[in-house]
Amino acid sequence: MAISKKLQARMIKLASDRAVFNQAKDYALDYLDGIFEREVYPNDIALQNLKHFDEPMPIDADDPASMLKLLHDYGSPATVATTGGRYFGLVVGGSFAPVLAVKWLADVWDQLAPLYVTSPIMAKLETVSEQWMNDLLGLPKDCAMGLVSGTSMATMVGFAAARYELLRRADWDVNTKGLFGAPPIRVVVGAEAHSSVFKALAILGLGKDRVELVPVDEQGRMRADKVPALDDNTLLILQAGNVNSGSFDPIDEICDMANKAGAWVHVDGAFGLWAAASKNKQYLTMGMEKADSWSVDGHKTLNTPYDCGIVICRDRNAMITAMQASGDYILYSDQRDGMLYSPDMSRRGRAVELWATLKLLGKSGVEELVDGLCDRACQFATDITTEGFNVLNDVVFNQVLVTCGSPEETAATLRNLQRSGECWCGSGKWHEMPVIRVSVCSWATTEEDISRTVRAFVKARRDSCKG
């Protein structure tokens, strides 16, 4: 008992001591002040200094000030500057400073958000964000929205709702009977679907190896003329934004085919679904409102902080039933209970950052953001081509695939580029050819950032020739 009181007394004292919060604030602002000019990837010294974290777990309590100083002195330099303007890897966006400030406040709230009774404010922000998302993307206004960690989980939730509903139509309750002896579900997907699609199918017991793969064209788009005959026992998965080329399946045409057959359509749109918010890019997602479920990530094109996956489902009952949980201690209400729309119960209040980003930008701001990213991608494609590099894809959104004169030169150029710290790009394969993947996703990327990146490409290629 004495030990417990001693710990409580120390923590109460620390909670009332603003020095540690001010120290953290100063360090955070110092980090933000240098984010746009610092090297994108940590240099060798910063990586070597991570050894300062190698120590046995302390026996006694540590000093908060020294803990924060350790993180700032040796942690901050070893971060990847994804919130700057020259990170082009993994389709990762930045974050807006006012939204980060909102996140700071929400972190202090430290809300548990599965139920209305555990956090009325988070329930309200989820409700509002659901309405705003349906409006922004042009979806039916009564669609249900769930907030999860990222698009991989959002995709799985959408598939779970589809699995429940398709089996219900066959008079099979998957929640009570499971999949043993269940009627088979057909799964039809494009040959270049994202790996997270196959992962979700495997987790849900739908089998990633038993899907019907539809051939794609040279840009990775599903060929409508190769889609097999569909029926009301089919889960059809379309793609809004190929992870390599950025291309979009012919959603409108294929949705018409699926709707006529009664198939369930899911649109995987991790970064591309946001095209619907731009008048200039809406043609890419035309007809997506005819689908049954959609998955998208806030931290990609919308530039929310991490941990903001979004799943939207036309059939609210199918989604809720697929995510059902019960227990005498679970106090459901007549308000929104967020855990009904996601698989986790112990969930942080994700809605605050989505709400704040949408409120900060408004419809016009989201449109400007989407258009700006696409403009910078086109600028990069034009300028890099002028320098003698090859651009392999039609740049319809924010993705650019680049090669040099040979696969070996491409690989060496990418290695030099990543080591330089000037920018960071990822690798990939396109039609069995190694490529440099450039994903323009951050609001912070300026025209000069693109020009600076092109110069870095030229130098990296020149250095590869010297090697």
Q: pLDDT above 90 covers what percent of the chain?
A: 94
Render pLDDT for 129-174 as a digit per residue (tens, 0 to 9): 999 999 999 999 999 999 999 999 999 999 999 999 999 999 999 9
Fold topology of 361-466: Aspartate Aminotransferase, domain 1 (3.90.1150)
What confidence score (pLDDT) does residue 466 get? 81
Residue extents of the structural domains in the chain: 102-358, 361-466
Decide: helix, strand or coil at residue 313: strand
Angle at 289 (CA atoms; ends 285, 294), nearest 5 degrees: 80
CB burial readout 257-295, b (16+ within 10 A) else e: ebeeeebbbbbbbbbbbbbbbbeebbebbbbbbbbbbbb
Quick count: other Cβ atoms within 10 Å of Cβ 434? 16
pLDDT band at 89 (very low <50, low <70, confident <90, very high): very high
Mean of all residue pLDDT scores within the chain: 96
- Among candidates 351, 341, 332, 347, which has minimal Cα distance to 117? 332
What pLDDT was estimated at residue 327? 79
Name, in order, each residue with C-beta under 8 angstroms of 87's C-beta and a sequence gap of 6 or more.
40, 80, 81, 94, 423, 424, 442
* Residue 424 confidence (pLDDT) above 80: yes
Asked whether the predicted pLDDT for residue 1 surpasses 60, the reply is: no
The H or E element containing residue 148 is strand 144-148
pTM for the whole structure:
0.96
- In whole angstroms, how far apart are CA 56 and each of 52, 60, 63, 347, 389? 11, 11, 16, 31, 50
Cα separation of 344 and 353, whole Å?
18
Q: How many CA atoms lie within 13 A of 321 on its CB side?
A: 16
Q: Please list the residues that pair with 148 across neighbouring strands.
A: 309
Q: Which of 3-17, 195-209, 294-308, 347-361 has the lowest mean pLDDT?
A: 3-17
Q: Does residue 467 carry a pLDDT above 70?
A: no
pLDDT band at 209; cut points 50, 70, 90: confident
Cβ–Cβ under 8 Å, residues 251 and 288: yes
Query: Could you tell me the two tokens for 148?
Result: 């999860």
CATH code, residues 102-358: 3.40.640.10
Res. 189: pLDDT tops 60: yes
Q: What is the mean pLDDT of residues 221-225?
A: 98
Cα 85 to Cα 70: distance, rounded to the nearest angstrom: 26
Distance CA 136, CA 298 (A): 13
Using 50, 70 and 90 to split pLDDT, how confident is the model at 318? very high
- The predicted model gives 246-257 an average pLDDT of 98
